[in-house]
């Protein structure tokens, strides 16, 4: 909850976020808080969203795998293991918590060369090389301030290959008066759909498709989860 003088993102404290995530076990279940069983539904939803986007955009490789992807805010590699590694040849990872990146470093996917470079750092400190066909960022941009998120999205825009695609998958705010919501437990914000659209516009990205994740049981009482598929805006 914000008062009229402070924005939700001004309360973000990276040290507090890292303290929270370092206190959580380095397991797939811990990435999703109280509801580890949402993982299967989440991963299936991501797979079908990406397939829809590929059909929509002729330039995006429609049949084979993406060559080079990156999983941003990867945690222990849940999304890489359960989804990205099935649709991409090589998946890099960015994640600031060393005990989480260690799980990826020790994994069979790393030994097999499917997990490529692992960057143990926050997205605010990561400058990607221009080589990515797919940048996937899920359930972590709430740890960046609005201006950090714009700057990060600009860097991602510049790091995409010619037909490259960025997908942001995040919770949406349900605040009664349409504000971003601050959560002191992990020092993060949950943004409104309007805020995400402002951020992407400011970063020079076009939304080619967006939709809500479906299929989470109502009884879990989860926040809405939205996909945004982004490409660099074309200038006329």
Ligand X SMILES: C[S@@+](CC[C@H](N)C(=O)[O-])C[C@H]1O[C@@H](n2cnc3c(N)ncnc32)[C@H](O)[C@@H]1O
Interface ranges with ligand X (CB under 6 A): 14, 17, 21, 31, 73-75, 78-79, 95-97, 100, 122-124, 138-140, 143-144
Nearest CB to ligand X, comparing residues 28 and 61 = 28
Torsion of CA 194, 226, 190, 174, to 10 degrees: 70
Q: Binding residue per annotation — 138? A: yes
What's the N-to-C CA distance of the chain in angstroms?
A: 41
Compute the least distance from the CB of residue 102 to ligand X, in Å: 12
Question: CB 100 → ligand X: shortest distance, Å?
Answer: 5
Smallest distance from the beta carbon of 146 to ligand X, in angstroms? Answer: 14
Q: Which is nearer to ligand X, 35 or 233 (CB)?
A: 35
Least Å from the CB of residue 142 to ligand X:
8
CB 105 within 8 Å of CB 80: no
Q: How far is CA 87 from CA 61, 80, 119, 171, 192, in A?
A: 11, 10, 21, 23, 29
- The nearer residue to ligand X, 44 or 61, going by C-beta atoms, is 44
Give the C-alpha separation, 146 to 7, whole Å: 10
Residue 162 or 185 having the CB closest to ligand X? 185
**Closer of 60 and 97 to ligand X (Cβ):** 97
Question: What are 203's two structure tokens?
Answer: 């970063």
Asked if residue 51 lies in contact with residue 167, where contact means CB atoms within 8 angstroms, the answer is no
Does residue 78 have a known ligand-binding role?
A: yes
Burial of 91 (0-12, 13-18, 19+ CB in 10 A): buried
Burial class (CB in 10 A: 0-12, 13-18, 19+), 72: buried
Other C-beta atoms closer than 10 Å to the C-beta of 16 total 16
| Distance of closest approach, residue 87 Cβ to ligand X, in angstroms | 16
Question: Binding site: residue ranges?
Answer: 73, 78, 138
Question: Binding site for S-adenosyl-L-methionine: residue ranges?
Answer: 73, 78, 138
């Amino acid at each position: 909850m914000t008062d009229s003088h402070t924005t939700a993102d001004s309360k973000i404290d990276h040290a507090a976020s890292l303290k929270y995530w370092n206190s959580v076990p380095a397991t797939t279940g811990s990435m999703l808080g109280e509801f580890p069983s949402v993982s299967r539904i989440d991963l299936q939803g991501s797979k079908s969203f990406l397939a829809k986007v590929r059909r929509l955009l002729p330039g995006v490789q429609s049949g084979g795998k993406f060559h080079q992807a990156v999983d941003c805010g990867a945690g222990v590699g849940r999304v890489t293991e359960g989804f990205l590694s099935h649709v991409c040849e090589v998946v890099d990872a960015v994640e600031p918590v060393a005990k989480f990146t260690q799980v990826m470093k020790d994994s069979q996917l790393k030994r097999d060369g499917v997990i490529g470079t692992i960057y143990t750092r926050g997205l605010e400190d990561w400058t990607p090389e221009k080589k990515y066909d797919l940048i996937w960022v899920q359930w972590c941009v709430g740890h960046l301030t609005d201006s950090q998120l714009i700057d990060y999205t600009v860097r991602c825009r510049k790091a995409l290959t010619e037909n490259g695609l960025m997908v942001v998958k995040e919770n949406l705010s349900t605040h009664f008066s349409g504000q971003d919501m601050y959560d002191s437990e992990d020092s993060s914000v949950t943004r409104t759909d309007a805020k995400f659209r402002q951020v992407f516009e400011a970063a020079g990205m076009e939304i080619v498709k967006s939709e809500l994740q479906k299929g989470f049981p109502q009884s879990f009482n989860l926040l809405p989860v939205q996909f945004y598929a982004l490409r660099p805006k074309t200038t006329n």
